[in-house]
Amino acid sequence: MPGNDSAATRAGGKNNAGTPRVTVIAPCRNERAHIEVFLRNLAEQDYPNDRLEIIVADGRSDDGTYEWLMDAANGVPGLKVLVNEEGIVPTGLNRAIEAAQGEIIVRMDSHTRYAPDYIAQCVTVLLETEADNVGGPWRAEGTGIVQRAIAHAFQSRFASGGARSHNLSYEGPVDSVYLGCWRKATLLRIGLFDEELVRNQDDELNLRLTLAGGTVWQSPRIRSIYTPRASITALWRQYAQYGYWKVRVIQKHHQPAALRHLAPGAFVGALGVSGGLAPFFPASALLFALLAGGYGLATLAASAAVGLQTRDPRVIPVLPPIFAGFHLGYGYGFLRGVVDFILLKRGGRPQFRRITRE
């Protein structure tokens, strides 16, 4: 991913006094297999080193990540390591933001690879658009048939419901953006990440920002590559958590950021009710057959289209259960969230609070 010229990189000569000071924030936990590559990727950024601070908030790793980071801090300019005692993403982000010295905050993740001008383009787009949060499209790539199929499905409209954050060429306002880049003053003004939300803390922050009159902006000039889950089971768990915590976001703000967030839960609910009543009512049996059959046909058609469009036909047989992982996993989690947060009025269940990655 070659770098592009930008206002920020042109400022990276001998005199960087006019270049904004940036703090990169990165929460992590048990990332020993990825953290070294991540820091190497950061070292390749073309943003001036003397205007860059890196804060990694480690969530009590027990795989050697923290020890490796402490050793690396002696040799990586601008690297600071914090202990995130709570061990979840939003608390790690908030502790890093509170400690940040930069006027601009760039969030980065150890499971993502970045173009050399990623930070520079974040800064340039933030200054050019005067938006409150900017980021690039959520591009996914994988290795092996299953992970590659998950990445292909991730970019499809059928899986994402047409979310603009999955559109690699779109530039303009969005309801949420991958990772993010803000002025620190903006984050302090609207409040930091909601520490109750194990998932969806970025969506909630962007919704809060938008409701306050701010703008979230996506630009394809900000380029990165996300590594998705490598198994259908892990994908299901991930999207069940997304659906579950989305309910808490909607409950908090009394509205969804977009109507597409309601569709999987409504579909799974209709499928469950019609299936449960099918033995007793012919109309329910017919509705269940129509819903299940229609979804099955749509999934097969979408799988064939994705395989042909990506010129990767070998993934077609594994795409139907992957699409089900996206839709049914999210819908199941959403309904569990409705039961817990709205009907029973209690907090998140333990299985929806654990963050695992496979």
Give the closest residue to 196 by CA, choosing from 345, 60, 88, 61.
Answer: 88
In the chain, the amino acid numbered 261 is H
| pLDDT reported for residue 16 | 74
| pLDDT reported for residue 5 | 43
Among 3.20.20.300, 3.30.470.20, 2.40.480.10, 3.90.550.10, name the CATH number for the domain at 7-229: 3.90.550.10
C-alpha to C-alpha distance for 139 and 152, rounded to whole angstroms: 10
Mean pLDDT by 10 residues, the chain (358 residues): 41 65 95 89 92 94 90 83 92 96 96 95 97 96 95 93 87 94 96 91 94 96 94 95 94 86 95 96 96 97 96 96 97 96 81 57
For residue 287, give the H/E element and its range: helix 282-309
CB contact set of 324 (below 8 Å; sequence gap of 6+):
299
C-alpha to C-alpha distance for 26 and 290, rounded to whole angstroms: 46
C-alpha to C-alpha distance for 90 and 286, rounded to whole angstroms: 45
Q: Position of tokens 């929806």?
A: 352
| pLDDT reported for residue 74 | 78
C-alpha to C-alpha distance for 99 and 132, rounded to whole angstroms: 20
| pLDDT reported for residue 223 | 97
Q: Position of tokens 């490796």?
A: 68
Per DSSP, the residues of 59-128 read: ---SSSHHHHHHHHHTTSTTEEEEE-TT-SHHHHHHHHHHH---SEEEE--TTEEE-TTHHHHHHHHHHH
Tell me the whole-structure pTM to 2 decimals: 0.86
C-alpha to C-alpha distance for 336 and 252, rounded to whole angstroms: 17
- Check the CA dihedral 243-191-188-259 and report its sign: positive
Bridge partners of 54, per DSSP, are 24, 79
Q: Position of tokens 């601070």?
A: 53
Q: Where are the domains of the chain?
A: 7-229, 238-352
